[in-house]
Chains A and B, each alone.
Chain A
């Protein structure tokens, strides 16, 4: 996201303007839903978590400190923690009551036919799984590099290098698109 748009949203949040939530949803909704989905692996629960997360974001908006974290980092933390809490709460219930799809294959529903997401999905497959495993462990499962090394039985040095290479590969594929989309959105907002 452009710095200008991020600044604009933060200002709206601090002014307790509900428009901030609308903008956040438009720009981060699908990304944060992806975060919740990655943790829970269940479409319905992930949507519940996204809703709860946005309510928390609104309630906690005065606690955001731009000098300590970028806006997305703050949103990510709230969403991921809400998703982990939800995962724990459903795990305590009977497995018969709630079926969590543990498969790595996403149930994307009707919206998955939208072309921009199809591109992302298709291209993700282009990154070797050994990089994806490391990136998932670090970003979604909340493991430290040392924990990932222990859990995946991969030396710490290899974890570090796979993280770097994985990100580089990812940027090669999405870099230009990821930069272009927010720029176009900002242009759309400012011109409307």
Chain B
């Protein structure tokens, strides 16, 4: 142990530590040795005494007024420090409030933007729908008002004698519509379905739900034939010929 202490004392570690020029690692080492080894502690204490003693022997008289300057500066620093603390607290509070408000407005803005996008999409859809409907109505109007348009009265056969419909066909504009005005009631498991035979091909035009006075557009072709059949509920892929209740040649 004496040897270790001797090697510590012979090194420069204590002097460097005394002057405050040690690295972090050296500082820890020096403090550990001073605590562990009494001889090292004694040497360090002696070094401190010698330093104080030697420094005192080089004392230089302090000028008048310097003490006052130092004390004033310290007092000023304390006041500034207090002011700074108060300012820092106020600033921190302001930042907190501002951050909270920012988050609130940001989240509100985000939700409004989302809502706005949704509303815009709905408006676009409605516009498109309206445009389509307007186009439809315009076409219907053209067809119905056109002098070339021929009107055909359609009645049901024996299977549906009460069926009444009117077909409008315009060979010039190549447009045709069907207006079903009366449909006899059917059992719940059956429905009326509309078909059109165009250029030898049978097209499914969908189920006629009720006599709603709406014009049903028919695909136009020369010598096309429209059929109304009774089909099982939900409609059929191909018409059941024996269940034809009306045909419209247009």
Where the two chains meet, the residues of A that have a C-beta atom closer than 8 Å to any C-beta of B are 1, 18, 21-22, 25-26, 29-35, 37-38, 46-47, 50-51, 54-55, 58-59, 68-70, 72-73, 76-77, 80-81, 106, 108-109, 111-112, 114, 117, 120, 123-124, 135, 138-140, 142, 144-147, 163, 167, 170-171, 174, 178
Contact = CB atoms under 8 A, between A and B. Distances in A.
Interface residues of B, number: 36
B141 to A, nearest CB: 92
A38 B58 contact: yes
Q: Which of A21, A73, A114, A135 gathers the greatest number of chain B CB atoms within 10 Å?
A: A73
Contacts of A167: 50, 53-54
Nearest to B13: A144
Contacts, number: 132
Given A31-B52, A81-B20, A147-B12, 12 more contacts: A30-B61, A31-B58, A51-B69, A55-B73, A70-B52, A108-B61, A111-B61, A139-B54, A163-B50, A170-B54, A170-B57, A178-B56
Q: Determine chain B's interface SS by DSSP, over half rule.
A: helix
Contact of B59 (A18, A31, A58, A68): A31
B122 interface: no
Given A72-B48, A114-B61, A167-B50, A31 B55 contact: yes
A58 B71 CA distance: 10
B60 A51 contact: no
Nearest to A113: B61
B19 A80 contact: yes
9 contacts: A22-B71, A47-B66, A73-B18, A73-B52, A80-B19, A120-B57, A123-B57, A140-B58, A144-B16
B60 A108 contact: yes
B12 A70 contact: no
B77 A58 contact: yes
A124 B58 CA distance: 8
B144 to A, nearest CB: 97
- Chain A at the B interface: mostly helix, strand, loop or mixed? helix
A68 B61 contact: no
Contacts of B172: none
Best-buried of A140, A144, A178 by chain B (most CB within 10 Å): A144
Nearest to B62: A29
A70 to B, nearest CB: 5
B74 A70 contact: no
Contacts of A70: 45, 48-49, 52
A174 B67 contact: no
Nearest to B47: A73
A163 B18 CA distance: 15
- In order of increasing CB-CB distance, the 10 nearest A-B pairs are A144-B12, A111-B61, A77-B20, A30-B59, A34-B58, A34-B60, A72-B52, A34-B59, A29-B62, A31-B59
Interface in B3-32: 12, 15-16, 18-21, 31
Given A54-B70, A80-B19, A146-B12, A72 B51 contact: yes
Contacts of B45: 70
Given A77-B20, A170-B53, A109 B63 contact: yes
